[in-house]
Amino acid sequence: MVRRIAVSTGGGDCPGLNAVIRAVVTTAIGDYGIEVFGIETGFDGLMGRGGARVRPLTLDVVRGILPEGGTILGTSNRGSPFAMPREGGGIVDRSQEIVDRLGELGIDTVVSIGGDGSMRIAAQLGELGVKVVGVPKTIDNDLMVTDVTFGFDSALQVATEAIDRLHSTADSHHRVMVVEVMGRNAGWIALHAGIAGGADIILLPEIPYRTQAVVQALVKRARTGRKSSIVVVAEGAVADGGDALYLDRPASTHTVARRLGGVGNQIAEDIAEACGADTRATVLGHVQRGGSPSPFDRVLGTRFGCAAAHLVARGGHGRMVALRGADVIDCPIVDAIAEPKLVDPDGELVRAAKSVGVSFGI
Ligand code: F6P
């Protein structure tokens, strides 16, 4: 019998986290009389000398949070409890602190809302005997099994609106506008927002581009009377034979993901140099992660949160809720992280984009 559970939000935030928290709490309390605690700042809230940083999540606490962006619990994407930076250098495995704290608090199951990093931590904690149910979150949409992660749709809305706005200023000034969007090593945001925003060129991590081909596509457009062009580039896009660009150096001591960025400005410079086009770059950055969730993400977050609470009550663990077609299902967490879900370069979506005239710079 499950009596007390805890909720954690880990990794980069995204719109819809609060919708999930609210649904977990209302379902767990309302349907099962389960007590719910919130862990602050991801699993960091269960480590450290000051004791656990947890607080009760009551119906009062979650009232009104559905449309709020971010997470009322806070989050962290700076590492894993299995490989934390040690004072004075090196890394240390602090996962046992989490096991101990959960035991002290009498927590039966943790609902871990997160992306691939959080699901990996959840799977590893499972090996230590911690019961975890996962809820897939990320604007990158790069988790396997689920058709879509919540947060993706809201990020798409922001990116698409930005592209719409860039069209008019691009037309006025006869410019090439390059827009760099997030997504890490997956091109889902770039591909969907590029198609939705009517981009002329879309550059993805999954389809290495050639600068010459990008320039040729732009010159061809100019020759046929097009006065402006829009290039949407994923932050993880790579030139053929080249590497992704990063804003930071590789960390030698611990396992924190590096910060992608810079490819948008690089391409804008390359285009201007190659054909003299008046070119500007816009890096959308964290505006894609902020703000109120879209209606789709509110609904998906609510469905995921309810499903996670039902799964916990049934004694399920080591599993993640997921969207498959019209249904919310659950699957082993390890299936979701076996490999990242990437854009298929020969898939229907890429072919549709090509059919409407999009160049992928190849
Ligand atoms: O994974 C979500 C994401 O927004 C990626 O698209 C991006 O590369 C990364 O997080 C940015 O992380 P940070 O918030 O640490 O800059």
Output the six-digit token pair for 281.
Answer: 């770059």
Average pLDDT over residues 324-330: 98
Confidence of residue 57 (pLDDT cuts 50, 70, 90): very high
Q: Residue 254 domain-assigned? A: yes
Sheet of 279-283: strand order equals 201-203, 229-234, 176-181, 279-283
Residue 256's pLDDT is what? 78
Residue 142 sits in the same domain as residue 67 = yes
Ligand 1 centroid distance, CA of 140 (Å): 8
Is the CB of 192 inside a 6 Å radius of any atom of ligand 1? no
Ligand 1 atom at minimum distance from 11 CA: 1
Residue 123 sits in the same domain as residue 181 = no
Cα angle at 61 between 56 and 64, to 5 degrees?
Answer: 155
* Domain span at 205: 153-290
Average pLDDT over residues 284-310: 98
Is the CB of 139 inside a 6 Å radius of any atom of ligand 1? yes
Q: Residue 342 domain-assigned? A: no
Q: What is the pLDDT of residues 246-266, one digit of tens each?
A: 999 887 665 678 999 999 999
Is the CB of 182 inside a 6 Å radius of any atom of ligand 1? yes
Residue 306 sits in the same domain as residue 191 = no
Average pLDDT over residues 208-223: 98
Residue 206 sits in the same domain as residue 251 = yes
Q: Residue 328 domain-assigned? A: yes
Nearest CA to ligand 1 atom 14: 12
Is the CB of 216 inside a 6 Å radius of any atom of ligand 1? no
Residue 144 sits in the same domain as residue 157 = no
Ligand 1 atom at minimum distance from 139 CA: 2
- Report the percent of the chain where pLDDT is more than 90: 94
Residue 84 sits in the same domain as residue 59 = yes
Q: Residue 359 domain-assigned? A: no
Confidence of residue 8 (pLDDT cuts 50, 70, 90): very high
Q: Residue 356 domain-assigned? A: no
Mean pLDDT, all residues of the chain? 96
Q: Residue 345 domain-assigned? A: no
Q: What is the DSSP letter of 315?
A: T
Average pLDDT over residues 42-69: 95
Ligand 1 centroid distance, CA of 301 (Å): 20
Q: What is the pLDDT of residues 151-192, one digit of tens each?
A: 999 999 999 999 999 999 999 999 999 999 999 999 999 999
Residue 252's pLDDT is what? 63
Largest pairwise CA distance in the chain: 71
Average pLDDT over residues 14-19: 98
Residue 318 to residue 128: CA distance in whole angstroms: 11
Residue 205 sits in the same domain as residue 308 = no
Q: Residue 361 domain-assigned? A: no
Residue 182 sits in the same domain as residue 226 = yes
Ligand 1 centroid distance, CA of 266 (Å): 19
Residue 132 to residue 317: CA distance in whole angstroms: 5
Mutating to test ligand 1, I would choose from 149, 182, 283, 337 the residue with most ligand atoms within 8 A of its C-beta, which is: 182
CATH number of the domain residue 36 falls in = 3.40.50.450
Average pLDDT over residues 118-134: 98
Is the CB of 76 inside a 6 Å radius of any atom of ligand 1? no
Q: How far is CA 204 from CA 41, 53, 70, 125, in A?
A: 32, 40, 27, 34
Pick the catalytic residue from 140, 142, 200, 297: 140
Last residue of a domain, one of 252, 271, 290: 290
Ligand 1 centroid distance, CA of 16 (Å): 16
Q: Residue 314 domain-assigned? A: yes
Q: Count of CB atoms within 10 A of residue 210's CB?
A: 13
Annotation says 100 is catalytic: no
At 177, give phi and psi (nearest 5°): -105, 125
Residue 144 sits in the same domain as residue 256 = no
Q: Count of CB atoms within 10 A of residue 30's CB?
A: 11
Residue 221 sits in the same domain as residue 327 = no
Into how many domains does the chain fold?
A: 2
From the number of C-beta atoms within 10 Å of its C-beta (0-12, 13-18, 19+), residue 271 rates as buried
Output the six-digit token pair for 126.
Answer: 């499972």
Is the CB of 138 inside a 6 Å radius of any atom of ligand 1? yes
Is the CB of 77 inside a 6 Å radius of any atom of ligand 1? yes
- Report the percent of the chain where pLDDT is more than 70: 99
Ligand 1 centroid distance, CA of 14 (Å): 10
Residue 19 sits in the same domain as residue 70 = yes
Confidence of residue 86 (pLDDT cuts 50, 70, 90): confident
Residue 145 sits in the same domain as residue 163 = no
CATH number of the domain residue 209 falls in = 3.40.50.460
Residue 251's pLDDT is what? 75
